[in-house]
A and B are shown apart, each in its own frame.
Chain A
Amino acid sequence: MSLLELKSISKIYGDLHALDNVSLKVEKGEWVAIMGPSGSGKSTMMNIIGCMDKPTSGQVLLDGVDISKESDRNLTAIRRDKIGLIFQQFHLVNYLTALENVMVAQYYHSVPDEAEAMEALRRVGLADRAKHLPSQLSGGEQQRVCIARALINYPELILADEPTGNLDEANENIVLEIFRQLHAEGTTLVVVTHDPEVGEVAQRTVVLEYGKITREIHNESFEAKTAPALAEARN
């Protein structure tokens, strides 16, 4: 069974068909990039997968559960338990430290555990910045805090919306490296992006145009690229 399955979903705003009869399957442990220009329906798709929106028609199965008919309340619970979100604008709580921002996710999920949160920050290489406020961190660092926060509850699926959109190249590489690492550990990743470089590093790239999937690319050189980049990041 696939972890995520979209069965011919459509999202219609008035006359606009943001998504038009789209079907997609994401297997457990897969790294999928969803690409497309602005207005192609990426964000709508991301919102639907992230349980923040419901399709006008069609079914969304997450871990075998149809989430397209769930109430808002249940969607919140599903999102909390199964999905880790990473945003383009990072969206950190600006008056909480890096560590506390990670702990907020724990707090809503189950019980805050400072040591575990610290460990998550260490994984993204921010152990020494744990007590800093978002305003004291660089964009890349903020995004890494955001990733640590997304990871902390061991979600089934990490959903990233333009994770490198606000970052310079060096930071972009660091983030991508963390994704590779996560993938290596078996985490399922769905990355929404318009950046071909980010799309290319994924296992599979789905191209969305005018609300429809027009192409699907399987990245053959995927495994080969992993090792050197990882080594680079660790230096």
Chain B
Amino acid sequence: MTKQKMFLRMITASLVRRRSRMLVALLAIAVGATILSGLVTIYYDVPRQMGAEFRNYGANMILVPSGNDAAFNMDAVEETLGYIKPDQLVGVAPYRYETVRIHEQPIVAAGTDMEGAKATSPYWHINGAWPDAAGDILLGQKVADQLGLKPGDTLTVSYAAEEAEPAAEPKTDAQAGETNRLDAASQAEGQEESGADEAQTTGEDYVPDASLDMMVTGILETGGSEEEYVYLSMEDLNGLTGGSDKLDVVELSVSADQSELKQYGSDIENNVDDVTPRLVKRVTESESTVLTKLQALVFLVTAVVLVLTMICVATTMTAAVTERRKEIGLRKALGASNRSIIGEFMGEGLLLGGVGGLIGAGLGFAFAQAVSMKVFNSSITFQPLLLPVTIVVSVLVAGCACLLPVKSATEVDPAVVLKGE
């Protein structure tokens, strides 16, 4: 039998026959490794997951026409979207604003894609239901109050071309009442609204070009200027106004950090002629501020937990080795050199570290996955690099924790160790 074989035989005997003690040490290492891999996985995934949560704040990029008279349609939007990674795109909501009349009142109607609006503006509170069929309409809270309408009511929307096509004139104080605007849709709205003013001032001779009977499915409450509009599907609005498929503004909700967004912005600016992208500063700036803090928080928490856990693992390992001082003394008495004793104990420690690390890496990923499913309702990305890192760290911690007590035990006279208790 070779020395290597005997070495392995002794180590496996120690691990297998001192099962309960070894399990204690293994458990400690596995717990440490679980915390390590779990927390680090969470740390890496938090920005992505939290970033998705921050999409609650709505669009962080909008597309407006380049220049005052320019218009763009869905083709330009499709082209634009080509520059954004598809998995980062949370939602796209195109808007077209036209002034229509409901109950003889001039109201700004927004044509949009309801699914897109749902995705880009998750904070919209709908009393009732989202429109989902042709002929459905969503009323802003203020419009509903003004007109005295509630979900289930029907109304007639009418449209007159000459009323809705004002010359490009400077903005009026129509905007003055708005308190809480976020998007640059105002440019378009300003025009429409000024159209409305014009209509009001031009008086009674209003002749609708087209009209449509619609049903109110819900009332929109946001606390912002959205409450002053009505929302209907793009098809209904285009049908009502006849043909044109121009868009006034497109809201994009992109799950990316500020620098990446800026990059997308300049890519689009340089490559797509018809549209100008603008970042919604309030959302992007604030998101990067808060997200940075959150990441720092998780980082520090992870660091503190890891340091403390690793020390805990080390003390447990140290205790496990210290317990075996007598055995170390015996081996010395039998003529073992310090080196070979250290080698044997380290061999055990490293093996434990490796196995514990492997178990811990698996459990940690399971934990991170559970957290992610519970907190964010989405699965976590596996960091393949973390597996070797967890194992290496576990082995290192276990190794260092063994080395010190073994070294100190080998320095003691074997006679002293063997005599005492």
Contact = CB atoms under 8 A, between A and B. Distances in A.
Is there a contact between chains A and B in the complex with CB atoms less than 8 Å apart? yes
Interface of A: 43, 47, 50, 52-53, 73, 76-77, 79-81, 85, 87, 89, 91, 93-97, 100, 103-109, 111-114, 133, 149
B340 interface: yes
B331 A104 contact: yes
B324 to A, nearest CB: 10
Contacts, number: 80
21 contacts: A52-B414, A52-B415, A53-B415, A76-B332, A76-B338, A79-B333, A80-B334, A81-B335, A85-B333, A85-B334, A89-B418, A91-B326, A91-B330, A94-B18, A96-B17, A107-B7, A108-B336, A109-B335, A111-B1, A112-B6, A113-B1
B316 to A, nearest CB: 19
Interface stretch (B8-16, B67-75, B280-288): B8-16
Contacts of B336: 76, 80, 108
B308 to A, nearest CB: 32
Contact of B3 (A47, A87, A107): A107
A39 B51 CA distance: 77
Given A50-B415, A87-B418, A114-B1, A108 B334 contact: yes
Contacts of B53: none
Contacts of B374: none
A103 B10 CA distance: 10
B401 to A, nearest CB: 20
Given A77-B337, A104-B10, 10 more contacts: A52-B415, A93-B327, A93-B331, A97-B13, A100-B10, A103-B1, A104-B331, A106-B6, A112-B2, A112-B5
Residue of A47, A53, A93, A107 ringed by the most chain B CB atoms within 10 A: A107
B13 A111 contact: no
Interface in B337-359: 337-338, 340
A184 B18 CA distance: 40
Contacts of A85: 333-334
A74 B336 CA distance: 11
Contacts of B9: 100
Contacts of B5: 112
B415 A79 contact: no
B413 interface: yes
Interface of B: 1-3, 5-7, 9-10, 13-14, 17-18, 326-327, 330-338, 340, 413-415, 418-419
A105 B10 CA distance: 12
Nearest to A44: B415
A53 B412 CA distance: 11
Contact of A133 (B1, B6, B17, B326): B17
A80 B340 CA distance: 13
B418 A100 contact: no
B415 A108 contact: no
Given A52-B415, A87-B418, A105 B1 contact: no
A52 B413 contact: yes
B331 A108 contact: yes
Contacts of A93: 327, 330-331
A47 B414 CA distance: 9
Nearest to A95: B17
B413 A76 contact: no
Nearest to A83: B335
Nearest to A80: B335
The 4 A-B residue pairs whose C-beta atoms are closest, nearest first, are A80-B335, A95-B17, A52-B415, A112-B6
Nearest to A115: B1
A76 B6 contact: no
A107 B413 contact: no
A45 to B, nearest CB: 12
Contacts of A80: 334-336
A109 B326 CA distance: 20
Nearest to A109: B335
Nearest to A92: B330
Residue of A43, A73, A80 ringed by the most chain B CB atoms within 10 A: A80
B335 A77 contact: yes
A89 B421 CA distance: 10
Given A53-B415, A113-B1, A114-B1, A96 B330 contact: no
Given A76-B336, A77-B335, A112-B1, A47 B415 contact: yes
Contact of B413 (A53, A77, A112): A53
A104 B330 CA distance: 11
B362 to A, nearest CB: 28
A62 B211 CA distance: 119
Residue of B7, B327, B335, B337 ringed by the most chain A CB atoms within 10 A: B335
B1 A108 contact: no
A100 B13 contact: yes
Nearest to A53: B415
Given A85-B333, A105-B334, A111-B3, A91 B418 contact: yes
A43 B419 contact: yes
A192 B337 CA distance: 26
B335 A103 contact: no
